[in-house]
Structure 1
Amino acid sequence: MTPNYTLSGRYRIIRSLGEGGMANVYLAHDLILDRDVAVKLLRLDLRDDPKTIKRFQREALATTELVHPHIVSLYDVGEENGMQYLVMEYVKGMDLKNYIKAHFPLPLQQVIDIMEQILSAVATAHAHNIIHRDLKPQNILIDEQGNAKITDFGIAVALSEHTMTQTNTILGSVHYLSPEQARGSMATKQSDIYSLGIILYEMLTGSVPFKGETAVSIALKHFQNEIPSVREFDAAIPQALENVVLRATAKDPRDRYATVADMASDLLTTLSESRVGEKRFEPADLGNDETKIMPSADIAAAIAANRRADAAKKDRQPTPKTPHQQSKPTDEVKNEAPLPKRSWSKRHPIRRRIILYGSIAILLIVAIVVGLELSRPQMTTVPKLTGMTQAQATKVLAKRQLSVGTIKHAKSNEVAKNEIIKSTPGSKQSVQQRSRISLTISNGEKKVNFGNYVNENYADVKSTLSSVGFKVKQRFSTSDVAAGQIVSQDVVAGSSVLPTNTTVTFTVSAGSRYVALRDLTGESQSDIVNYATANRINVTFKQGYSDDQKAGYSYDQDPEGGASVRAGSTVTVNMSKGSQPANADLAESFKVKVKIPYQSLNTATATANDVKIYLEDDSHVIGSLYREITITDNTRVSLPFQLTGSQTGKYRIVRNGVTIAEKNKITNKDASN
């Protein structure tokens, strides 16, 4: 299948994702729903093979029945020019086999989290009476968020089909094959559990437990050799976690977990302190109830031994008395003790039966009450999980006999990335113990469309925007509109921005009043800013040397103190850098060229970008605006710097309220040629 070929007029092939024994998989784009999909296409050399076609169709049927967040979804089934294909969910990431190689060793909590997802998916398949029969890391995909998804139900089989594995034929990968499958017996749910145990072993150790030169030699090891100890590989692995591997991979299916849910429940608490010091799992001794064929010589010896035992028993018996010995004289009969009287129970049979039946009835009632009490589901309360990570939530839930269920992801401006937004059921709700709690986890912030706040009250707008993460600033302007009302904004209305990465500056009406300017010399920068804000005056800071004022305090201003200025006007304040150094004559001037990229706002007409430039050198302070421009295309600007001695400069460029460029420690080495 070549790139750009469009399957059924809908699925445009992009590239190959992999080739298998039955089908090839391609990345394609759904032209109707505008999304990437995975297309599994039956190989051309197999399209006339009835068995392969049946197996391919079985995968489609099995996957259609299974809807689960950790099972790859099936979108479509079709045929074109004799080519049968499946359209499935595209999982961007890698399979678990490669994930283990790339990230080994995996943290134990991550191993448990991934395994929990796999187990919940297999539990769903088993609930539909579908056995996968080919569970292995190559058939488990890990997406970019670390979520597991099971794929390839090509050899899955429904229990109702009673399909037996053919003699001398082993379906599935031999490294993960259960002993009963290796012997040629029918695969069961316990067979999938065995494969899951091998997968868990590989996640903990980085390799499979049994290796060999041939598939037959590996299969023999599965039902002859014991699983190697994971704790011998890494002593830091808890015994409780190794026990999950040992129980899942027990040779006798009866020794394994009864259900996948039981395995998940056991796995969930393996890192709990309550299981520290747990003994190593040993399979139960089920006895040997097989029928044995004994040799004829052994049978004859057993019969002879029985006859000798009977003869010895007869020799030990007392000699029976003669009739004369059994009869007694008349006087002896007379001296015999009288016959005992009949017991009360024999003299009152009806009362005895009433008491007996009454006792039985009472015992039955007690048994029923106790049974109902024991069968009553144990309830617990869902804890508050908001703001926790998935690992933290897993531990908290385990303490209340609960576990993590379905995982969903969503954007959130209120909850940090990888933290829980909400749980279902929610906190404080009463649920049965061993219930699964679904979680919605934050993928981080989502962009929002910035509104138009002109003519609104600045204080109200600032409160609203600050609460969702925006940095809000104001500058004043003389205006005839009411004081405190927004006149303009530097972030274009309708533009898509990230709140925590956006600084918006509003031009706010200062009214038309006049202010008697205070003498600001000798004050700190923060005090001057507070005064300017309270009186709705804009202030610009410059730096210079002063022998009369210590560094960090103002030594001059324009206009001077006492002048009457209109609200909204700008006052320039010179801040002292201290006394003029001896090498002041070594001040050097140079320029740094910076490219400012234009941002298209996806509007019908071109919209200019508002750009603010901030500098810091001998004459400028980074907190004061150096220059404001508007651009309609990519633009280059030259930024002038004047630095004395070892002083360094800074610049920051803000486009439409968002900082797009910032550099500290500017020296003459950064000068443009």
Structure 2
Amino acid sequence: MIGHDLGGRYEIVSRIGGGGMALVYKAHDVLLNRKVAVKVLRQQFVNDDEFIRRFRREAQSAAALSHPNVVSIYDVGQEDETHYIVMEYVEGNNLNELIQERAPLQAEEAVRFAMQICDALGHAHQNHIIHRDIKPHNILIGNNGRVKVTDFGIARAVTSSTITHTGSVLGSVHYFSPEHAKGINAGEKSDLYSLGIVLYQMLTGKLPFLGESPISVALKHLQETIEAPRSINPHIPQSVENIILKATRKNQSERYSSAQEMLLDLESCLRTDRLDEPKMIFPTFNDMEETRVMPAIRGEFVTSQPLERNEQKAIVSDTSTKWADEGNAKKQKKWKKPLTVVGVTLLLLALIIFGFMWLLDKLDTEEVEVPYVVGMTLTEARAAFDAKGLRVDDPVTLEFHRDIPKDQVISQSKKAMRVKAGALIQLTVSNGPEMASLKNYVGQSFKAVKEELNSLGVTDTRIKVVEQNSEEAVDSILEQTPKSGELFDPVTAELTFVVSIGPETVEMPDLTGEKLSTARKLLKSLGLVLNEEDIFYAPSYLHEKDHIISQDEKLMPLDQVPKGSKVTITVSSGPPADAKTYVLNVRISPAVAGVASEVKIVYSDARGENMEGITRTITDTVDIPVTVMLAPDTVATITVSRDKQFMDTKEISYDELEAGTGTPGLTIPGEELLPPTQSTPDEQVQGEINGNNGESTSEGESEGSGQGQ
């Protein structure tokens, strides 16, 4: 993706982040000459209509908002199967990175961030949009301190139907509101709950609820009470803690009614008169009616009609009917009821006091100092607690952690305090970095695999490539280390791939003009194949018999060709059948008798123009035979020079040889005999004369008698 021009306008520069649904790249808008952020839907979701709709909903939701604390949407588009959103690029970090580096933050800074987030949420809620995934990862902090809320990927309009899948809930479980965890529609107050969790994390450096699985964390949001922030960080003002406690109430009616109300509280919470305000107390919420005990009606029946004062009433029993005076009955009960209540009360008090004294006696155990075990291994921590008579609350909480080794204690529930011997201490232990299972990449394209690994967080510097010649396609993976199925850490692991670069190649030699036997040996030494059926013969004026005329155009000289490639060549079978050769005798004397002269003979015939045939130094008259070859309807020319001066030329035609009329030789006397450019017919000899006065010919000279053929 890096270097790609998306939509012909956005030049992808580098990858800056990513989530479960999309990858985010830094890009350059070549049209407006500015930096932008481009969010690209992951390739595995391009065929998932639901993800595509959710991806487009993000663009629509964010584009409907215009606020200085909301990331602006510039463009949305699709190129082939690539769906993308172009948005404002923010120079800086996200809030999660800031928390990891500096938490706990100062109250003033955390409140300032929370106010800007709250302001952005208020604007979204006014436009009937619920974010539903407020978390530090989606909060960008610019270098100028400006907060930007981004990632409306699972936002929805209040009036639209829910996009919660059957059996699943979208969002980040550590920041879920209780109603969100139940899987019901989340409203404005759900965003405020998530903001309360974010503020809690900024000020304490930890999340309120952790667990071994997302379900266990969601259940804690539903059932457990958040630990007071000031118990973790006593420097938090009480007024700020009150805001967190109110925003994170499980009962929606006890939270802030709107983002505007929470913003007003944030704006004033750091005033001097509010810093030490009383801790906010919330009533216990119980939506079940109290159970009541109803008296049983046995054998008596009491009339339900009203009776006059002093009026007698009939009481029906199993055996008889009695009449009594109502007034007398009331007087009898008047003294019995208080006596019974007092007696029962005293008895209960006695039992309670006795039980309390017995319990105190049982609980009166020795107090011990809780050892600090953070940084120890779990085995060492258990040993330290055993030595003090304390116990580890099993099972321990396991968390993936990038920087803390596996089985090392990250935190403990109680420290720097005295507790009763035998008390349980909850430990959070590192499970090491989160590992991934390596797929089987053998046979796949290395380029595609590299992009996939980059998306998992594996950088190019930790991907090593070993190139190897192979019959497999170029760029296909032959071997991988680690092997398929092994666990690896995407952030630190180094991976090695053996990648095919195709078959081994050799440089194709130039075979033109070589003898066939020589070419066979050369090709065999290079690992190339020359079969008999790939050798073609053709007549040639230029090449001697069994010499190579040409080679396959697909395998040209200097080309790199795979070993084992078949080579096709064309070999000369000698001159054509209708070709004629003629040997012309040139008799020449030195310019001055007894003084050396340099003789040069150049000829043109069917084999080429102006070919140097003979060069010789002579001191006496010699005969030099010159062989020419003629094709039908052609003329051969022989030119003689002496001491670099043109002496004479001779033309021989194919028709003369065909007619058998014969062609005389060429005689060039010395200067003492005749002028250099003259010769007489009497001094010429027939072309059939062979002569050599003992002078050696230079390379290329032909010897023998000349006759027309």
The answer, yes or no, to whether TM exceeds 0.5 is no
TM-score range, shorter chain: 0.3 to 0.5
**Higher percent of residues as helix:** 1
Q: Could you state the TM-score of these two structures normalised by the residue count of structure 1?
A: 0.44
